[in-house]
Structure formats: C-alpha cells, structure tokens
Amino acid sequence: MRPLRTAIFPVAGLGTRFLPATKAQPKEMLTVIDKPLIQFAVEEAVSAGITRLIFVIGRTKRSIADHFDANPELDMLLRSKGKDKMADYLRAIVPPSCCCIYFRQAEALGLGHAVACAAPVIDADEPFAVLLADDLMDGTVPVLAQMAQQFESSGRSMLAVKEVAPSETGSYGIVDADLPPEGELSRVRGMVEKPAEGSAPSNLAVVGRYILDGRIMDMLKDQAPGSGGEVLLTDAISKLIDGPGVDAYRFKGHRYDCGSKIGFIEATMAHALAHPEYGAQTRSMMRALLDAEKSK
C-alpha cells in the first residue's frame, strides 16, 4: 500500500437543502466569514500531507476551479496597492507541491458515483481520502491529519465517526462498532445507510471524512444504484468491511453540517466568535441582539 497522498473532493451535489443560494453556485463555495467551504477542506487535506487534489465537479461548479487557479491580474493589482500579504496568501492556497485534477460528474447520481468518476487516476494499491466540504471540521489538529497519522500505522480504510442522538440516525450512515475513546480506532463490523430510530446498530454516525482503499474503485464500477436511485458509497464500503477491513475513528474536534442552513448558521457564529479581528465585536453584537429579543 502506498502512502496517503491523494484526496477526492466530490462537489457535484445539487445542494437542494440550501436553495435558493445553490441555484447557480455550488454549496461548497458558500463562505464562512470570508473563506469558501471548499478552501477549508483543501487546507485540511494539505495539512495531512495530501499533494494530489481531485475535484469532482458538476454543472454549476466552474467557480471552484477558478478559485484554485492563479489570478495574475488580481495578484498584480493587490501588489500595486501594497497588499502583498493578501497576494501571498492567495497564492499559497494551493501550495506549489500540490496539483489539482478535475473530473466532471455529468449527472448527480450519488456520492458513490461521484467518487468513482476519479477512478481513472486511482491505482488499486493507492489509498485516497474523501472530504465532503459541506462538513466543516474544526480540530486543534486538523481532522484529516489525525486520521492520516492513524492510517500510517493501521494501513486500513477509515471512517470518521461521531455520536448522534437516536432520533438522528435516519440522516446518516451508521456503523456497527464498539465506541472507542476519542482518538482511537475500532474495527467496523457493518454499516447501514440512514437506519430509522430504533433499528440502528449503534449511535456512531459517519461524517464527511474517509480514507479508502484504492480497491474500492473496482467495487464501485459495477455497483447498481441503491435506495433513492443513487449509487451509494456506503454499499461499496460494506464490501471493504467484508474484505480488507475498515476502522471507525472518533475524531477530536467539532463538525458543522454546512449542507444544512442551521449547521451553516452554527459554523458562522462559532467562527465569528473565535475570529481574531471580529470576535469581540461579534460577542457584543450577539448580546445586544439577545437583549433586544428578551425585551420584545
């Protein structure tokens, strides 16, 4: 097995939960304060040693490729105004050691199908990460870097998991595994997509960070669509579980579900409060808003 150097960013979903914002722009370009969600995910991947960034884009996704391209006119303009720091920052979003590859998913046929679009550049002995940028992950150590470190010794596919309330299992892939303490691995015995409350094998939900065995591409190739007509990544992961094995990793950090409006609001508030420049102002604005609410 080769070292982990490749990441796939499936960004071809329709984002129907975030309409109208996502009618003509990808949800992964929505910004928390001033940074698009996809840039958070790319920075997380780069911090984990990823050098090959593969984007699976859809119809409205040109802005993603534009965002990671050099922009010489803007660079010159910023430098002529003495804003070299911002120009340097923009240049470094994709470090020179990294390359970007783009695949197009012509139709949104599901996450499994989106991942399989990158199959032409993934060898069977090549592990790769999958990052769903609408899951914004905060961790003192970036979550994918935590996973990459574990993977170095385990060499096995890995799913980031978090505990959810029993009423929420129907919104996630749920693994059958014993709960390890934070930062530890546990072997996965099975995985079920969106089980109803009461029928879930555990309360450990898979969130948008995976490290997968390159052999999964072969498993995805001929996979029939599952429930809802989509090609599910879960079905192929189940084959990995029965074959070479898969671990669950309870990451250290917080996950914001930025594919939903309420999760996006939470992420924006948390990042605004923690912002070095705007944090104090945000705090007093929030207090004033809450006070005004109380006195209504």
- Contact residues for ligand UTP, defined by CB under 6 A: 10-18, 56, 105, 108-111, 113-114, 132-134, 259
Nearer residue to ligand UTP within complex by CB, 82 or 229: 229
- Asked whether the beta carbons of 208 and 132 are under 8 A apart, the reply is yes
Angstrom distance (rounded) from CA 176 to CA 159: 12
Angstrom distance (rounded) from CA 185 to CA 97: 30
Neighbours of 293 (CB within 10 A): 8
Nearer residue to ligand UTP within complex by CB, 13 or 185: 13
- Asked whether the beta carbons of 189 and 203 are under 8 A apart, the reply is no
CB of 294 to ligand UTP, least distance (A): 34
CB of 63 to ligand UTP, least distance (A): 14
Q: From residue 280, give the alpha-carbon distance in Å to each of 273, 274, 275, 286, 288.
A: 7, 9, 8, 10, 13
Four-residue CA torsion sign, 40, 45, 47, 48 = positive
When CB distances to ligand UTP are compared, the closest residue is: 13
Nearer residue to ligand UTP within complex by CB, 16 or 199: 16
Nearer residue to ligand UTP within complex by CB, 44 or 134: 134
Angstrom distance (rounded) from CA 218 to CA 236: 9
**SS3 for 49?**
coil
- Asked whether the beta carbons of 9 and 134 are under 8 A apart, the reply is no
Nearer residue to ligand UTP within complex by CB, 15 or 142: 15
Q: From residue 7, give the alpha-carbon distance in Å to each of 124, 208, 217, 255, 284.
A: 15, 12, 14, 19, 40
CB of 127 to ligand UTP, least distance (A): 20
Nearer residue to ligand UTP within complex by CB, 130 or 177: 130
Nearer residue to ligand UTP within complex by CB, 10 or 36: 10
CB of 259 to ligand UTP, least distance (A): 4
Angstrom distance (rounded) from CA 147 to CA 49: 11
CB of 132 to ligand UTP, least distance (A): 4
CB of 211 to ligand UTP, least distance (A): 17
CB of 87 to ligand UTP, least distance (A): 30
Both tokens assigned to 73: 């006119």
